[in-house]
Structure 1
Amino acid sequence: MTKTLRIDSSIKGDASISKRLTDKIVERIGGDVTARDATAIPAIDGAWIGAAYTPADQRSDEQKELLALSDELIAELKAADTIVIGCGVYNFGVTGPLKHWIDMVCRVGETFRYTDAGPEGLAGPKRVIIAYSSGGVPQGSAFDFATPYIKQVLGFIGITDVTVVAAEGVNLDEAAAIAKAETQIIELAA
């Protein structure tokens, strides 16, 4: 059975349009679903970075504890065949919680490594579907910093199969924006 990792990152909870879209996407593609609410993921800090760059066999118990959530999130990522990312756009970019998830899963030696030829992603191949929602920023426009950022980060860790389902302009015409996104969801291969 296909394993799907669902990541919701909106601070709006059940009122979130990106969360409603991830509901519909997961329903469409099916599989064994692991759900992760990124709003519960803390920001990384200097101690976390120190732990991440300490060789695993030299980490203190405190450093291991600092990395425990990151280890869990990376295991979820690696186990998934498909990743569905709810991406509401706040101030032209990704939400803070989504950035926290990204910071936790981008770890040297785990999801990427440095080589003489440059960085090499270790997390792919995977299929990713981004559920993009914005009040007024058209997906793919010059003001959309969220989509290119997510694609760059995913490519860095070795994931390049990315599809975007967009409900854009929800502050202008919410019903039309959601209807457009729902049409895109229907067209997704299961």
Structure 2
Amino acid sequence: MEYWQKHHQNDLITLRDLAKIPIPVLDQAILFAFGKDKAIYNFSIPSQLKHYIDFIARAGETFKYTETGSVGLLEDKQVIVLTSRGGIHKGQPSDLIIPYLTQFLSFIGINNVQFILTEGTALGEEYAQQSHAQAQKEIDLIINKEIMIK
């Protein structure tokens, strides 16, 4: 983050570490405040991320309903998703995270999405280190590309 901020001083960066500062669990009071009567639960992503998605998916704010279906309202945004996995799932039927997040982000209008994966972190220290190094290279490429554009 420090490197990015140094080279993109005019960018507004929002860092959300949902493990360090989790959002409140959706309880009856919060659901009532948002006018919702139930949440949708699944097993594909961490509950903190699911809660975050539930908080930002707001009709009239991040998407709207039209006669032809829903339309995302967050166009011209870029999202970079950094994720780690104990196993190797990219391109496999077991990869539920990338399709799920891609669909959700598209639903709210965000179609410029990049995923940087650290996979195989449970497959031994050497494999985990290689995966981390590859992810760091991908991060560096994105940062350097952005610096060259500006």
- So what's the TM-score if we normalise by structure 2? 0.75
Deviations 1:30-56 (A, max 9, x none): 4343322324201223443333238xx
Structure with the bigger RCO (C-alpha within 8 Å, sep 6+) is 1
Deviations 1:149-181 (A, max 9, x none): 111111110001111111111112111111111
Provide the secondary structure at the position in 1 that maps to 2:51.
helix
Aligned residue for 1:153? 104
Aligned residue for 1:44? 26
- Provide structure 2 residue ranges, at least 5 long, that are not aligned to the other structure: 37-42
Q: Tell me, yes or no, if the aligned pair for 1:140 and 1:147 is still in contact at 8 Å.
A: no
The Cα shift of 1:184 comes to 1.3
Structure 1 residues 138 and 25, CA gap change in structure 2 (3 angstroms): farther
Name the CA distance, whole Å, in 2 between partners of 1:27 and 1:175: 26
Task: Give 1:174's match in structure 2, choosing from 110, 125, 128.
Answer: 128
Provide the secondary structure at the position in 2 that maps to 1:114.
strand
Give the residue type in structure 1 aligned to 2:129: A
Give the total of aligned pairs. 131
Give the residue type in structure 2 aligned to 1:42: P
Structure 1 residues 129 and 137, CA gap change in structure 2 (3 angstroms): same
- Provide structure 1 residue ranges, at least 5 long, that are not aligned to the other structure: 1-22, 55-91
Aligned residue for 1:99? 50
Give runs of aligned pairs for residues 128-167 of structure 1, distance below 5 A.
128-167=79-118
Structure 1 residues 115 and 129, CA gap change in structure 2 (3 angstroms): same
What is the root-mean-square deviation of aligned Cα atoms in Å?
Answer: 2.4
Name the CA distance, whole Å, in 2 between partners of 1:37 and 1:182: 18
Give the residue type in structure 2 aligned to 1:51: A
Name the CA distance, whole Å, in 2 between partners of 1:42 and 1:28: 32
Provide the secondary structure at the position in 1 that maps to 2:75.
coil
Percent of pairs identical after alignment? 36
Provide the secondary structure at the position in 1 that maps to 2:25.
coil
Greater percentage in strand: 1
Name the CA distance, whole Å, in 2 between partners of 1:164 and 1:24: 20
Deviations 1:107-129 (A, max 9, x none): 11111111100011112221111
Structure 1 residues 150 and 25, CA gap change in structure 2 (3 angstroms): farther
Structure 1 residues 43 and 151, CA gap change in structure 2 (3 angstroms): same
